[in-house]
Structure 1
């Protein structure tokens, strides 16, 4: 394991890349994983070296995953699941198209898993020629019934990308939020994938849409298992981020001035700046 965790900023370049190139740069070694029981047959598979959470619902009729990390992590994820169930993975829901959330699709599909994502996420994967393109797409809302349990998929507005979904486990009152929410050391900065249709202006609305659902526990795309209150606080942060950027751009502040603010007040790092600063400024003009 790495001597210190990569931050979300270090991973940022991978998030905007296709699965193969992302894996080559940031997933060259399988992650060391940890399995954490969250509630009532819902587990989180997490790791320190390359942050990114996989949610697993275990049922007597099979397993449902939310996100599946990089392709190279597939064997370790399957091994982790086998410590709690012998059932196969029936479904994987990708919260968006980035390779650290969908890179394991192809290997799972080869075993019979059905991959599900938003219409926009699939279009982005096709455009990037990513492997493991979803078998089923969701335009707005959908539900999967597996082993007597219900899983709801809700498309939200533009935020991290234009294809973000959140996944609700209503009986357990757990929400897997994907990358519209990150919470934990080194993960709080908003990375807007402008090439993937993301929006800092609309991000607060997307989080508000998620907050319309009924849940107590939130599994972020990156970071630590959190609470509803944590997501509410994060929404306030996204509002402040958008308001600050609008003010800076309206005042005609220079690129360097804006960069200094997003670094000092919103935890942006080099990769955030390289990938998204120009898009951010253009969005608020």
Structure 2
């Protein structure tokens, strides 16, 4: 029987492109030691735009005369290292923060930053879920909560660029946003896109749905070109070709599972078909084939939200 998705998620949250940190059976001291060993690496992408790699979700940075904007902030113990990496880019102190979704490997630094007056922004459901927490994540402190929330999206005119923030509904979670720098031609996709490190994680308990991830990939592909630099939630920088392959994988697996469901096959029977086998190639992946197929199968049992995906 496949490992439940919720348990698999624990392994995901300490993920990094350079480290695979176990979230289980480790003492607090060991966890602290591992964060102490994490190095935040900065990669400039365009004038005033960069990405930071460390532990947890990749961080986007916009910097210039109007102030520094972070897209996600990884884990609380890394805040000082993240600030140092921002300073190393020649950027000023962080002024704004956008959370791509609520998971704590992307929002763990919210409280630290909020306490220093950073203005936090996110989709409505991100604030709601941070307030509530869940069985493994305690409710967030008031300082960690987004101050500005939106339903569909917003536009920021900062540092000589237009930063378009757009909600993608019922995908990785119910509160995902992409962030697109129009002039720089860079897009941050959060966990709507895992590039070459794992099969997709679909958080069904947070309103996620496989069809929403497919719809989001299609929407972003319609926005980008061959020169666009794509920041995935996890994994190395990506291109339109990488995202196209990811979209095609999602489309193929969803179609296979949907057909099998229509033939009355059970989850176990569909898993035995191994519809994701050709992409399930990383032995260290956070999400393996059976867990991914389970999430797709259960997604297709839920309402389609097709009208949501069109907006």
Provide the TM-score with structure 2 as the length reference.
0.77
Residue-by-residue CA offset, 1:247-272 (whole Å, 9 max, x unaligned): 23223334333334156244296755
Q: Which runs of 4+ in 1 moved over 4 A?
A: 14-17, 268-279
Q: What is aligned with 1:89?
A: 94
Q: Distance in 2 between matches of 1:103 and 1:126?
A: 13
Query: Which of 167, 190, 215 is the equivalent residue of 1:178?
Result: 190
Equivalent residue for 1:283, pick from 288, 294, 299: 299
Alignment of 1:87-166 (within 5 A): 87-128=92-133, 129-131=139-141, 132-166=144-178
8 A Cα contact 1:166 1:178, kept in partner: yes
Q: How many residues align?
A: 268
Q: Which residue of 1 aligns with 2:39?
A: 32
* TM-score, length of structure 1 as denominator length: 0.83
- The 3 A distance-change label for structure 1 pair 24 and 130 is farther
Distance across 2 between alignment mates of 1:204 and 1:181: 10
Structure 1 residue 143: Cα displacement: 1.1
The 1:170–1:33 alpha-carbon spacing in structure 2 relative to 1, beyond 3 Å, is same
Contact 2:56 2:74 in 1 (8 A): no
State yes or no: 1:76 paired with 2:81: yes
Q: 1:92 to 1:278 in 2, by over 3 A?
A: same
Query: Could you say which residue in structure 2 is the equivalent of 1:13?
Result: 10
Instruction: Mark the CA change 1:276 to 1:264 in structure 2 (over 3 Å): closer, same or farther.
Output: closer
Q: Which runs of 5+ in 2 are unaligned?
A: 1-5, 15-20, 25-30, 134-138, 302-311
**Distance between the aligned counterparts of 1:74 and 1:258, measured in 2?**
43
How far apart, CA to CA, are the structure 1 residues paired with 2:120 and 2:280?
Answer: 33
1:168 pairs with 2:173: no
Unmatched runs of 5 consecutive residues or more in structure 1: 1-8, 18-22
Change (3 A) 1:105 1:77: same
* 2:253 is aligned with 1:256: no
Instruction: Judge conservation of contact 1:241–1:266 (CA < 8 Å) in 2.
Output: no
Task: Pick the structure with more strand per residue.
Answer: 1
Secondary structure (helix, strand or coil) at the match of 1:209 reads helix
For the 8 Å contact 2:214–2:251, the answer to whether it is kept is yes
